[in-house]
Structure 1
Amino acid sequence: MGALPTTQKERWQRGALAGLLAGILASLLMLLLSLTMGSISLPEALGSAIAQSLPLPVFDYLHTLLGGDAKHYLFYIILVGQCLVFALFGGLCNLLADRLNFGQWRDEQGDLNYSVGLMLAFILWLFSGLIFLPLTGSGIFGAQLVTGALNTMFSLAITGIVYGLLFIFLHNRLTWRLLRRTASPDQETAEALESKRIERRSLIRNSLVVLGLGTLGVAAWRFITGSSGGTASTADPQLQSNLLNKYQQKISPPPQPTYGEWQEVPGLSSEVTSNAQFYGVSKNLLSDPSVKGDDWQLMVDGLVSQPFTMSYKELLALPMHKQYESMMCISNEVGGSYMSNALWEGISLKDLLERAGTIKPGATKVVLYAADSYSDSIHLAKALEPTTMVAIKMNGETLPTSHGYPARLLVPGIYGMKHVKWITRIQVVNTDYQGYWQQNGWSDPAPIKMTSRIDTPTYGSKVSAGKQAYIAGVAFSGNKGISQVEVSVDGGKSWQKANLRRPLSALTWVLWELPWQPQAGSYSIVVRATDLQGNVQNPKIAPPLPDGSSGYHTIPITVS
């Protein structure tokens, strides 16, 4: 069987197809190593760099359009792009193997030697470590990442070698397949071969089109329906104008909470959120870090007289206390689900700082570093508050991996991005340190804005006329508590006080409910809250970026 006569275009196509298939398998291996061993994930590195470099208006638009899933869409797009880059390298390799034939790289049948695959792996290894990763801000071979340069070099080498050898194997299989066809007595005509090539190109093109349209379709669906899940109503200017005109910023003296007889209402949030249902947000596109407690250490240093490092076992031996505390993400929309409540157990951050001796003059902030290269800071005065905690247990269980095992920060009264997970270092500094999200334009002080949410009835639902029903939900004001919740069923023209359930602590949300026996008709239900200091929830509609959302949760209801 002689050599396969092919054109330059055909060699390119055969190399690109082999590179694409090998690239898909190599990418899956890279993700597997990242998930199981904490190794480098190139899509994650690029995605993080893109997220931080996006102009604030673009970031805000994408966040509004796609919500919390935006980072997942970005990851999938980059992953597809990585596979296409692998295809590009495969096509170029198959062309250059003939033009730069240093030694016998291809035999007489057209097969490539496996040494070519190893050479390709080495080139990709150098390209990733010396060019790609530095451009993403990760340093040479990821030296700036928590994974470290050695881990990155090893995992990139494994991925590259697997890709290179798979590329040669697949390329040669494609070559032999074509050779058998040309040597067969009933070989296909040139027209038939060309037809099959067109079909293959069409299949690849159509697959990419379907992938793109699918992504755009999901984005469009989120754009059309996302706001119906519970944000403040912007469609009725008259309603917004009415709320703003009648807005009273503060009530003095503050109302006294009314804790009446409580009725369990279906659809109302649980007072304590289970670990599995507690909301989770991180900067990571796909996988969060998996930290081993036996190897973990916490460093406390900076402007302190006695810096120290302790193990997880030593941390567990310290005196601990418990506190109920609710958390809310700064990206939470009005009426959104990024808000939860749990019982936490841990060590006061103040106690850890005191263990480090005297805080030196000039110190202004405490910086928290995490195992996923995330970082943020809080003001020293906030760090010294007794309720600021390094938590190691959640709802009576060891802190789950997704919520920061082995240790995370809790900072009552401040949005969740400041509650750093997977802590590895606590540093006292005299600079105005700006964390990961602050560099992206989000608020640095990040105090929680008062919010209230209607859990039941749900948006656009139908309620039976003349039957006993309940309007119920939650209200939250960080560490300022809730003194009253008011509900309007006529778009803010009149208000009724809801019954409150006594909160588990001054740091948690408050559950509220209002008995309702409606008549047939259409209703616009609005809710607002007042904190224990008499501050009234702000009706002015604002998006989450950069300081957190505001506005009144408003839902339409049909009673029939």
Structure 2
Amino acid sequence: MPARGRAAIAGVGAASAALGAGELTAAVFHATASPLLSVGSLVVDLTPPFLKTAVIAAFGTGDKPFLIAVLLVLVLALGAVAGLAQAWRPPAGVLLVVLAGVVAVGAAITRTGATPVDAAPSIVAAVVGGAVLARLVRTIPTQGRRAFLRGALVSTVLGVVAGAGARALTAGQRGTQQAIDAVRLPTPTATVPPPAAADSFDVQGLTPLVTANADFYRIDIALSPPAVDVGSWRLEVTGEVERPFSLSYRELAALPMHEAPTTLMCVSNEVGGTLNGTAVWLGTSVRDLLARARPKAGADMVLSSGADGFTASTPLAVLQDPGRDSLLAIGMNGEALPQLHGFPVRMVVPGLYGYVSATKWLTRLEVTRFDRATAYWTTRGYSAQAPVKVSSRIDRPQTATPAGIVTVAGVAWAQHTGIARVQLQIDGGPWRDCELAGDWSVDVWRQWRYRWQADRGSHVLRVRATDATGLVQTARQTPEAPNGATGLHTVQVSIT
């Protein structure tokens, strides 16, 4: 094997050892200080909005595994380059490893809630990576091919084993499942009646009225969901208020809690997309908490912050609206809030896209003004205010279907306004009124269906909705940025 090939292999082995050592150190000190996750989070923060939107459109809720896989490939590729540089002109390769470590340290200690100790995993990774690289490259001229490959393989395997061990050690930290299982939700002061039979259609392939927790979409900026200690968690209510205060989880859970069914919408949802879901949330009124804090005159926004570093700018008037059930939720579909969806506490605000309302792993509510503060996505070109737009989706049919009576079905939504009408267009023909299921809640999407006498051939179906105010869903196509996509969902079906 040529010397250059051995040098590249040495670099890959050193990168594997570095990753393993860094992950193992993070498991001991702080799981979220993992070099890979720290750099990944930095990449998420620096990625242009248009590219984030494209990745979410392509991979949906698999965007984070995709990013981690890409980072792993890049780290190994960087290791190969470092190996070549070290063989060409030592200690160039080691210096490259050190530089990568410096970047990882910077990414780790600048994350929200970071401490100086969070630098340790990246420092250890750089030291181990540099040492292994120098040793392996130094042995290239003196060792036979088998001996060299054996040494490189040992470094790689040890790195993989250390990384896997770190994953196992931190599973409890990341999952926090034992803490979640120990939570006993308080008895609600008001419960929501279950949907009536007329509120949903029994149609195969139609989106259910309520989304199971395991199926609920997840879009956020956290590569690894924060492991929040419920015992030390506190919510700070502060800013332009007369009476700032803070609450422990126990104190929050002791407040009046009620259930509210609400459909949440991600602004990254493309027309016809599935980045939305409905749950019955258990929580306490944000309006009541704000009344306790007594916002000062002139305040018009609440900047909410999560443990992952995310912030959202929500209009104060929306949160104070007595007709809108804005919650600090601790329960989801009868269970304690899952970690992936914001345990221990998250915000749920009907009628607004999640990037301006649905902060997960909530830690702070700051009453302020739109002209004085900006949030995570508004600093990246998205609108400061973003009410959900009336929209609709065709769930079925999506595949070839036999000719005859075909049930076309889907869901439509106009959060906090309600759906009054859904129409279907077939092959550019007239708009036909669809049958609507019952209206369980004005804050929940509504199912629809249409029984179609379908002839053989290829057909184009389009759907549009009208909300309770008479506003018809626009056919004008706009992208997800800066405040939600518009257009009509169109599918082409084959009738056989």
Q: Pick from 372, 384, 402 the counterpart of residue 444 of structure 1.
A: 384
Supply the distance in 1 between the matched residues of 2:425 and 2:470 (Cα, whole angstroms).
Answer: 19
Supply the distance in 2 between the matched residues of 1:147 and 1:369 (Cα, whole angstroms).
Answer: 12
Using the TM superposition, give the Cα deviation of residue 325 of structure 1 relative to its aligned residue in structure 2, in angstroms.
0.2
Using the TM superposition, give the Cα deviation of residue 374 of structure 1 relative to its aligned residue in structure 2, in angstroms.
1.2
Q: Pick from 56, 70, 85 the counterpart of residue 78 of structure 2.
A: 85
Distance 1:24 1:494, change over 3 A: same
Q: Is the 8 A contact 2:7 2:84 kept in 1?
A: yes
Supply the distance in 1 between the matched residues of 2:238 and 2:334 (Cα, whole angstroms).
Answer: 30
Asked whether 1:346 is paired with 2:283, we answer yes
SS across alignment from 1:276: helix
Supply the distance in 1 between the matched residues of 2:203 and 2:146 (Cα, whole angstroms).
Answer: 71
**1:392 is matched by which residue type in structure 2?**
I
Corresponding position of 2:192: none
**2:380 is matched by which residue type in structure 1?**
N
Asked whether 1:303 is paired with 2:243, we answer no
Asked whether 1:420 is paired with 2:386, we answer no
The sequence identity of aligned pairs, in percent, is: 34
Using the TM superposition, give the Cα deviation of residue 90 of structure 1 relative to its aligned residue in structure 2, in angstroms.
5.0
SS across alignment from 1:517: strand
SS across alignment from 2:144: helix
Corresponding position of 2:344: 406
Q: What pairs up with 1:259-298 in 2 under 5 angstroms?
A: 263-284=201-222, 286-298=223-235
Asked whether 1:453 is paired with 2:380, we answer no
Q: What pairs up with 1:87-166 in 2 under 5 angstroms?
A: 87-89=80-82, 128-129=101-102, 134=106, 138=107, 142-164=108-130, 166=132
Q: Is the 8 A contact 2:23 2:121 kept in 1?
A: no
Corresponding position of 1:108: none
Asked whether 1:337 is paired with 2:286, we answer no
Using the TM superposition, give the Cα deviation of residue 553 of structure 1 relative to its aligned residue in structure 2, in angstroms.
1.2
- After superposition, what is the alpha-carbon deviation per residue over 1:372-401, rounded to whole angstroms, capped at 9, x for unaligned? 111111111122234111111000000001
Q: Is the 8 A contact 1:39 1:147 kept in 2?
A: no
Supply the distance in 2 between the matched residues of 1:40 and 1:260 (Cα, whole angstroms).
Answer: 50
Supply the distance in 1 between the matched residues of 2:45 and 2:147 (Cα, whole angstroms).
Answer: 52
RMSD of aligned Cα (Å): 3.4
Supply the distance in 1 between the matched residues of 2:10 and 2:268 (Cα, whole angstroms).
Answer: 42
- After superposition, what is the alpha-carbon deviation per residue over 1:18-58, rounded to whole angstroms, capped at 9, x for unaligned? 33212123224545666894332445444544555455666
Supply the distance in 2 between the matched residues of 1:545 and 1:315 (Cα, whole angstroms).
Answer: 35
Corresponding position of 1:376: 312
Corresponding position of 1:21: 13
Corresponding position of 2:32: 39
Give the total of aligned pairs: 444
Using the TM superposition, give the Cα deviation of residue 449 of structure 1 relative to its aligned residue in structure 2, in angstroms.
1.0
Question: Which structure has the bigger radius of gyration?
Answer: 1
SS across alignment from 2:347: strand
Corresponding position of 2:369: 430
Supply the distance in 2 between the matched residues of 1:422 and 1:163 (Cα, whole angstroms).
Answer: 34
Normalised to the residue count of structure 2, the TM-score between the two structures is 0.79
Supply the distance in 2 between the matched residues of 1:260 and 1:355 (Cα, whole angstroms).
Answer: 40
Using the TM superposition, give the Cα deviation of residue 498 of structure 1 relative to its aligned residue in structure 2, in angstroms.
1.6
Corresponding position of 1:3: none
- After superposition, what is the alpha-carbon deviation per residue over 1:146-203, rounded to whole angstroms, capped at 9, x for unaligned? 2513232222233334434544665577666329989xxxxxxxxxxxxx9xxx9xxx
Q: Is the 8 A contact 1:454 1:474 kept in 2?
A: yes
Supply the distance in 2 between the matched residues of 1:127 and 1:465 (Cα, whole angstroms).
Answer: 60
Corresponding position of 1:529: 465
**1:535 is matched by which residue type in structure 2?**
L
Q: Is the 8 A contact 1:35 1:287 kept in 2?
A: no
**2:338 is matched by which residue type in structure 1?**
P
Which deviates more, 310-319 or 71-80?
Answer: 71-80
Using the TM superposition, give the Cα deviation of residue 364 of structure 1 relative to its aligned residue in structure 2, in angstroms.
2.1
SS across alignment from 1:319: coil
Asked whether 1:316 is paired with 2:308, we answer no
Normalised to the residue count of structure 1, the TM-score between the two structures is 0.70
**2:462 is matched by which residue type in structure 1?**
V
